[in-house]
Homo-oligomer: A and B are copies of this chain.
Amino acid sequence: MDKVYPSVDEAVADIPDGASIAIAGFFTAGTPVPLIRALVRQGAKDLTVICMQMGPGNEDINHLVANKQVKKAICNYPFYRSASRGASSPTEMAVRAGELEMEVFPMGTFIEKLRAAGAGIAAFYTPTGVGTVVETGKEKRKFGDREYLLEEALKPDYAFVYAYKSDRMGNLVCHKTARNYTPEMAAAGKITIAAVESIVEPGQLDGDAVHVPGVYVQRVVKVDRPAYFPSID
C-alpha cells in the first residue's frame, strides 16, 4: 500500500471548490506549509479552513484568504494579538468587511470535535464554554451537579498534516511539540494528506512509536524541513 505522491501539487490537485480542509500546526510548529502553498497555487475556492490560527506564527493561511479562496474559517486563535498588526491582516480585514465567515471554539472543544469525527462519535458534552458566548445556540445539560454544552463532531473533507518521518504506508511519526493537531486531524479527514520530512520503507519505523496509524493517511508527500524561528506577534 504505497501512498507516496510525487509532489505537493499532485497531492492537492483534486481538491474541489467548496471543500473543507483541516490544517494542523500550533503557530509555527508542525504547520504543513508546503501543502498550504500548493493549495494557493491550485486555486480551489469557497473553502472552509479548520485550523488553530489565521496568521499568527504562520502567514501562509492568510495567503489563502488574501487569494480569495476561503469562504469560512473555523478556529480557536485566529487573530494577531497586536491590534495594529491585525488591522493589516487579510483575515481580520475580511472578517471586519463581512467577507469571511468565522466560527471560533475553545481549543479543547475545537480538537475534540475533530477527534469525535474521526472516532465515529456524533457529539459530546463538555464543560468548557458554559456561561460564555460559546454556549449561544447550544444545548446545555446537567450531569451530576455540573453543566455541560453539547458539541457535535466536525468532519473535514481533507486534512493537511505534518510529520517528521513516515513510511510508504502512511504511518506517521511526529517530533516534539510539532505533533499537536496532527493525530486527530489525520483521523478526522476523509482524505488526509501528510507532508513529511523523511519517508522510509515499511519496517523501518518502530511500531510502538508511531503517532498516526497509516489507516488514517491517504497521501504522503516528501517536503523539505522548514527553517524558521518560532515567534508570534
Please list the residues of chain A having a beta carbon within 8 angstroms of any beta carbon in chain B: 112, 116, 119-127, 141, 143-144, 146, 148, 152-153, 173-176, 179, 206-209, 211
Contacts and interface: CB of A to CB of B under 8 A. Distances in A.
Contacts of A179: 208
13 contacts: A120-B126, A121-B125, A122-B127, A122-B146, A123-B124, A123-B125, A123-B148, A143-B152, A143-B153, A176-B207, A179-B208, A206-B209, A209-B209
**Those 4 A-B pairs whose CB atoms lie nearest each other, nearest first:** A122-B143, A122-B125, A124-B124, A209-B209
Nearest to A121: B124
A208 B125 contact: no
Contacts of A173: 208
A196 to B, nearest CB: 15
A48 B122 CA distance: 29
Q: How many copies does the complex hold?
A: 2
Most buried by B among A119, A122, A209: A122
Contacts of A116: 124
A124 B162 CA distance: 29
Contacts of A211: 208
Contacts of A152: 143
Most buried by B among A116, A121, A174, A209: A121
Contact of A208 (B112, B143, B175): B175
Contacts of A123: 124-125, 143, 148
Nearest to A178: B208
Given A121-B124, A122-B143, 13 more contacts: A120-B127, A121-B125, A122-B148, A123-B124, A123-B148, A124-B125, A143-B152, A143-B153, A175-B208, A176-B207, A176-B208, A208-B211, A209-B209
A209 B209 CA distance: 5
Nearest to A124: B124
Contacts of A209: 206, 208-209
A164 to B, nearest CB: 9
Contacts of A208: 173-176, 179, 209, 211
A161 to B, nearest CB: 16
Contacts of A143: 122-123, 152-153
